[in-house]
Structure 1
Amino acid sequence: MGQADAAALAGDDLSVGYAGSAVLTDVSLGLAPGTVTVLVGPNGCGKSTLLRTLAGLLPPIAGTVRVGGDPVHRLHRRELARRLAFLPQTPLVPAGVAVRDLVRHGRYAHRGALARHTADDRAAVDWAIEVTTATELAERRLDELSGGERQRAWLATVLAQQAGVLLLDEPTTYLDLRHQLDVLEVVRGLARDHGIACGLVLHDLGQAAAYADHAVMVAGGSVVAAGTPDEVFTAAHIRRAFGLDVEVVRDAETGHLALFPRLAGTVPTAN
């Protein structure tokens, strides 16, 4: 999917990078409400740089990012935070803070720094904790939680912003398989049950194929493929992006794609 009128967040003809040096060029994509878009590619290919540009944290070298049809760079930070929430890969863990207090910080976009919490704030915090299945964690300290529990607490915090777009940079990093799937199930529920446009960076191609409605594969400074998982996760595209020969098989029961590397067939990455 390229940019569409229905996109909650869209990037048009983007070149992204640092200090004027582009790591990705000519990227156009849109995140639609109620869908999960996954960015994949080899290490250092610019996935996180693209996500941070879409979040308004980095200015594009070229092109425009729009949220709700408005250019991101024209929005005040608080207004942007009402529309778009971003969770970095390794957020800093505040010492001694309880989960509920952390989630309350997600309401900063809706009130002044010294303003009291309102009934709307309390309702948003309760909803965010409930939808991330973090109710039993609410009164516990963040630094006492497991990695998977902590990630749910951070998800609740960005959800308390009640933004229509949620961007997550490698939300499953450092988690064991069970907690990885727990987090991805929460993200899928946020899209399908609550209409949020979710965009995330993932390393695991099997998980990306299973949870994405739309995928964008990048490598060598450009987009290798974009579309549905069936369109993106092909042997040819994976060979081009990752320099790896794989067999792509569809599970007859679940319909999910499974990827089996053929290590003896490794080939140089094509740029």
Structure 2
Amino acid sequence: MAEQVRASYDSEPVLTGVSVDLIPGGVTVLVGPNGSGKSTLLRTLARLHVPDTGTVTVDGVDTCGLRGRELARRLAFLPQSSPIPAGITAHELVSHGRYAHRGALGRARDADREAVEWALHVTGTSEFADRHVDGLSGGERQRVWIAMVLAQQTGVLLLDEPTTYLDLRYQVEILSLVRRLADEHGITVGLVLHDLNQAAAYADRIVVLAGGAVYAVGAPDSVLTNTTIEAAFGLSVHVVPHPYTGRPTCLPYGHETVANIVEMEYQ
């Protein structure tokens, strides 16, 4: 999807020749230390940041040649945080996701209404569709935002740190939803996460960024190793198999057992 992308802010390089492919119908997670270029890469994939060089494609088409509505029919992007709209219901917010599909008069058609109802159903937000968004909990609100981008009915969904500011219950809820979107609906998902153990639990592929470049890429058990984490994050860890899933679990030195980590992450 990204081929030799270089990107900068105010002439300061952030990405230095990054190439990344998202697994079709799978979950690809971008991880890396602060300042490694994760969010910049995701925004570049979404064409919200213009690369200095390199190409970004979706469905094999260079995004530079697509108009805004055309791109919005192929790819959906949810930023790390969005202003909370006042006086708007969840249903109304999700309906905004249909803007790229509506005709010149902007009237909702049957296909638009069906897409909104589907997005509400898939995200489990139908039950509070008529409630105001600013009155919802953080986890409920995040699911409504995801429903909005799902209403675009694209094959690719990009999420920038979708679990930020959420407690553990809602983090697991959102990531389980992401997993279902790929497994049950064939949506290609790319997202940024900070928690390596959550990345290991939910990803098909992990891309480790460090210093604006791809340091490692592959399945969780091939990427999340003691050597890679120490090199990319500057942190010494124990990497052990999760007792239930077998997926890698990263423990900073000082933890004598995995019991407390397992209880926090997977209860």
Once residues 65 and 11 of structure 2 are traced to their aligned partners in structure 1, the CA distance between those partners, rounded to angstroms, is 20
Counterpart-to-counterpart distance in 2, 1:158 and 1:113? 21
How far did residue 113 of structure 1 move? Answer: 6.2
Q: Conserved in 2, the CA contact under 8 Å of 1:210 and 1:256? A: yes
Aligned to 1:80: 71
Sequence identity (%): 59
Deviation at 1:247, TM superposition (A): 0.3
Secondary structure, counterpart of 1:179 in structure 2? helix
User: Equivalent residues in 2 for 1:105-116 (5 A)?
Assistant: 105-112=96-103, 114-116=105-107
Picking from 131, 138, 142, the partner of 2:133 is: 142
Query: 2:115 is matched with which residue: 119, 124, 129?
Result: 124
Where do 1:41-52 residues align within 5 Å? 41-52=32-43
Residue aligning to 2:246:
255
Q: In structure 2, what is the Cα distance between the partners aligned to 1:248 and 1:32? A: 25
Deviation at 1:263, TM superposition (A): 5.7
Q: Distance in 2 between matches of 1:55 and 1:217?
A: 19
TM-score when normalising by structure 1: 0.91
| The 10-residue stretch of structure 1 (206-215 or 20-29) with the greater mean CA deviation from structure 2 | 20-29
For residues 107 and 19 of structure 1, the distance between their equivalents in structure 2, rounded to whole angstroms, comes to 34
Aligned to 1:207: 198
Q: Unmatched 5+ residue regions in structure 2? A: 256-267
Which residue is equivalent to 1:267?
A: none
Provide Cα deviations, 1:78-106, integer angstroms capped at 9, x if missing partner: 00000000000011111110000000000
Report the alpha carbon displacement of residue 17 of structure 1 after superposing the two structures with TM.
2.2
Secondary structure (helix, strand or coil) at the match of 1:24 reads: strand
SS of 1:109's partner is coil
How big is the shift at 1:252? Answer: 3.5
Normalised TM-score (structure 2):
0.93
Gaps of 5+ in 1: 1-9, 265-271
Partner of 1:4: none
Count of residue pairs brought into register by the alignment: 255
Match of 1:174 among 155, 165, 169: 165
Q: Do residues 26 (structure 1) and 38 (structure 2) align?
A: no
Residue-by-residue CA offset, 1:145-185 (whole Å, 9 max, x unaligned): 01000000000000000010000000000000000010001
2:180 counterpart residue number: 189
Please give the secondary structure, in 1, of the residue aligned with 2:99: helix
- Aligned equivalents of 1:148, 1:94: Cα separation in 2: 16
Aligned positions of 1:58-97 closer than 5 A: 58-97=49-88
